[in-house]
Amino acid sequence: MNIPGARPPTPSELVRVSDRITFLYVEHALLSRQDSAVTIASDRGVVHVPAAQLTCLLVGPGCRVTHHAVMLLADSGTTIAWVGEKGVRFYAAGRGLSRSSRLIEAQARLVVNTRTRLAVAREMYEMRFPDEDVSGLTMQQLRGREGARVRRLYREHSDRTGVPWDRRDYRPDDFDASDAVNKALSAANAALYGVVHSVVVALGCSPALGFVHTGGDLAFVHDIADLYKATTSIPVAFDVAGTGTGTDSDDVGGLSRRMMRDVMLEERVLERCVRDVRQLLGQKDEAGVDAWADIVALWDGGSGTVPAGVNYDAAGPGVMVDW
């Protein structure tokens, strides 16, 4: 059977992750494919979405996804994240854009060494406190400083919008159990996590190898997302609650996602995320075409590599083989 649409693009032909649209949330629809676009069909009609322009597709409840749609998204380096109702729970994701292990190797080297891990964690906090010197602070002191900053942000936005704020109160298994501002925070953070996860995977990093957060499969995603909450999800949540939307979960969740989409574009979150991840992992240079090449090599037992696909039998000449 012939596969519809154009040939799969090579990674170097694809739109860079920093230049893509942030995310798209879909529920109660059929996702299929026409040429190089994902089609989203519901009782309201059919929408065509260029797959290679999208960073992350959040697939919610009530969706059916065809095999060809998944093939197109995978070929385009678009992360597919299967999420829960209202887009606030994360279940699974597909393959990202990168074909290189360069960044994940750097990430692993940094995270397993206590000294370098602390240095990266401090640099993350320096991004949040640009006018302060945190180079001599311990992790306990940094956590305390961050806690005070977040409480101050909540208080400032509560005063700005007139939305009462007591504390962060949410139940992952019951979205409707919270008040409007906490619902909005959950929905806005979920959208932010989806986009950051997409960037982390697209760059070839591990979502699980965190520097501040640890122990979870999304630890590094939470590390990076925390860099942007002060200018994205926190003000968005208070703005949503301040609109008088009330506590209807459909209104709160939908409005939060739409506002996050606009704010992330204004704040250039994709560009900043790509730049910040590379900087934190000590890889500030643009990777260029090589980062997206299909590189397969063999470890030589020391600090280098040798070509793969070669028969290294000492009894005969080394020849390329097709396994």
Mean pLDDT of 118-138: 88
pLDDT value at residue 152: 93
pLDDT value at residue 288: 46
pLDDT value at residue 230: 94
Q: What is the pLDDT of residues 276-313, one digit of tens each?
A: 999 999 987 554 434 445 566 777 677 777 776 666 66
Q: How far apart are the first and last CA of the chain?
A: 26
Residue 52 confidence (pLDDT) above 70: yes
* Domain spans in the chain, listed from the N-terminal domain onward: 11-93, 102-280
Q: What mean pLDDT, rounded, does the chain reach? A: 81
Nearest to 224 by CA among 88, 127, 138: 127
**316 Cβ contact partners less than 8 Å away, ≥ 6 residues apart:** none
**DSSP bridge partners of 38:** 33, 49
pLDDT bin (cut points 50, 70, 90) of residue 79 is: confident
Domain 11-93 in CATH 3.40.50.300? The answer is no
Most confident of 73-82, 85-94, 167-176: 73-82
- Other C-beta atoms closer than 10 Å to the C-beta of 198 total 31
86 versus 35: which is more confidently predicted?
A: 35
pLDDT value at residue 10: 58
Q: Cα–Cα distance between 87 and 9 in angstroms, integer?
A: 30
Contact predicate 281/209, CB 8 Å: no
Question: Token pair for residue 272?
Answer: 């900043």
pLDDT value at residue 185: 92
Contact predicate 220/118, CB 8 Å: no
Contact predicate 49/38, CB 8 Å: yes
Question: Token pair for residue 2?
Answer: 């012939």
Q: What is the pLDDT of residues 247-272, one digit of tens each?
A: 455 588 889 989 998 999 899 998 89
pLDDT value at residue 107: 96
**16 Cβ contact partners less than 8 Å away, ≥ 6 residues apart:** 274
DSSP string, 220-289: HHHHHHTTTGGGTHHHHHHHHHHTT-TT-HHHHHHHHHHHHHHHHHHTTHHHHHHHHHHHHTT--S---G
Assign domain 102-280 to a CATH class. mainly alpha
pLDDT value at residue 323: 44
Residue 321 confidence (pLDDT) above 50: no
**298 Cβ contact partners less than 8 Å away, ≥ 6 residues apart:** 305, 306, 307, 308
pTM of the shown model = 0.69
Residue 316 confidence (pLDDT) above 70: no
Q: In a 3-state reduction of DSSP, which class is residue 201?
A: helix
Mean pLDDT of 131-155: 89
Residue 318 confidence (pLDDT) above 70: no
pLDDT value at residue 203: 85
Distance of CA 217 to the CA centre of its chain: 13
Contact predicate 81/59, CB 8 Å: yes
Q: Cα–Cα distance between 7 and 140 in angstroms, integer?
A: 53
Query: Is it true that 11-93 and 102-280 share their CATH fold?
Result: no
Q: What is the pLDDT of residues 13-45, one digit of tens each?
A: 666 666 777 778 888 999 999 888 899 999 889
**DSSP bridge partners of 26:** 59
Bridge pairing between strands 21-26 and 54-59: parallel
Q: What is the pLDDT of residues 165-210, one digit of tens each?
A: 988 877 666 767 778 899 999 889 988 998 898 889 888 899 999 9
**DSSP bridge partners of 90:** 83
Q: Which amino acid is at 67?
A: H
pLDDT-above-90 percentage for the chain: 36
Question: Token pair for residue 231?
Answer: 């200018």
Q: In a 3-state reduction of DSSP, which class is residue 216?
A: coil
